[in-house]
């Protein structure tokens, strides 16, 4: 697994997938096909495949992983909830919003019971529910989920944490889709401020993994903000700064 993670951080997709598959096969041979560690590796590989638009293959991996975890560690374990949430995201990307909501509600229940209602994993579940609602054009429902997630991560992780920034960006995009620029602008500002903080304050002591994550974040946050500014040119926002 460590070799696969290193290849992911280097951006070497094909070798990373091959290394993950080797780790899955080796774990299956050593402990059997239904071992929870094999399921965790399958879930890790699926999330990586989703990030490279290989949604169909990722969904199959996640279905197997969630099934194995349910039988071994149980559906009241946070690891099961994490894999289940990623499976829900697969259904969201496939347009099956009802199934995605059902799965995410189950993950919220497990994470809340196991970790507490103010844990970042609960925030991540809530943000995913927001994304499902936004894709289904239920912007008011999405707003509630995103703001709940922001409240948790803002208190627990801080406003400049990458997870907080990511949720702020998604909440801003929800307001843009809802044609509510007044609410979108401060959230864009939060997301951009986090990127600038990483660039000016953290760039000298970032790990290689953090540096690569930062380089993936910038092409998402900055163009989204400038597209917003172009759409609403009467709002100077951060452009002047």
pLDDT at 161: 84
Q: Which of 55-69, 120-134, 195-209, 219-233 has the lowest mean pLDDT?
A: 195-209
Confidence grade of residue 212 (pLDDT, cut at 50, 70, 90) = low
pLDDT at 234: 78
CA distances from 154 to 16, 118, 123, 164, 231 (A): 33, 10, 10, 6, 28
Please determine, for residue 133, whether its predicted confidence score (pLDDT) is greater than 80.
Answer: yes
DSSP designation for 205? S
Confidence grade of residue 178 (pLDDT, cut at 50, 70, 90) = very high
Tokens of 125: 């579940």
Nearest to 224 by CA among 192, 193, 197: 192
Which residues are CB-contacts of 85 (< 8 A; sequence separation ≥ 6)? 103, 104, 107, 124, 125, 128
pLDDT at 232: 84
Nearest to 107 by CA among 31, 47, 99, 225: 99
Please determine, for residue 130, whether its predicted confidence score (pLDDT) is greater than 90.
Answer: yes
- How far apart are the C-alpha atoms of 105 and 81, rounded to whole Å? 10
| Contact (Cβ atoms closer than 8 angstroms) between residue 20 and residue 4 | yes
- How far apart are the C-alpha atoms of 86 and 79, rounded to whole Å? 11
Please determine, for residue 49, whether its predicted confidence score (pLDDT) is greater than 70.
Answer: yes
Confidence grade of residue 2 (pLDDT, cut at 50, 70, 90) = low
| Contact (Cβ atoms closer than 8 angstroms) between residue 105 and residue 132 | no
* Mean pLDDT of the residues in the chain: 88
Average pLDDT over residues 206-214: 66
Confidence grade of residue 142 (pLDDT, cut at 50, 70, 90) = very high
């Amino acid at each position: 697994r460590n070799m696969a993670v290193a290849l992911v951080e280097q951006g070497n997709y094909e070798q990373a997938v091959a290394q993950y598959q080797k780790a899955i096969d080796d774990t299956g041979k050593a402990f059997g096909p239904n071992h929870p560690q094999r399921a965790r590796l399958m879930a890790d590989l699926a999330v990586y495949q989703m990030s490279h638009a290989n949604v169909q293959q990722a969904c199959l991996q996640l279905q197997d992983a969630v099934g194995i975890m349910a039988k071994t560690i149980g559906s009241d374990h946070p690891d099961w909830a994490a894999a289940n949430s990623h499976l829900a995201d697969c259904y969201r990307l496939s347009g099956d919003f009802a199934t995605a909501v059902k799965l995410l509600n189950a993950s919220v229940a497990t994470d809340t019971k196991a970790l507490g209602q103010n844990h970042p994993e609960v925030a991540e579940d809530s943000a995913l529910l927001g994304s499902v609602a936004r894709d289904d054009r239920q912007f008011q429902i999405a707003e509630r989920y995103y703001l709940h997630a922001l409240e948790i991560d803002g208190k627990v992780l801080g406003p400049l944490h990458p997870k907080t920034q990511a949720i702020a960006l998604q909440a801003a995009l929800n307001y843009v889709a809802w044609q509510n620029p007044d609410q979108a602008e401060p959230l864009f500002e939060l997301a951009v401020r986090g990127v600038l903080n990483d660039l000016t304050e953290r760039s000298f002591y970032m790990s290689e993994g953090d540096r690569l994550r930062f380089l993936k974040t910038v092409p998402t946050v900055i163009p989204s903000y400038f597209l917003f500014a172009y759409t609403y040119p009467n709002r100077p926002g951060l452009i002047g700064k």
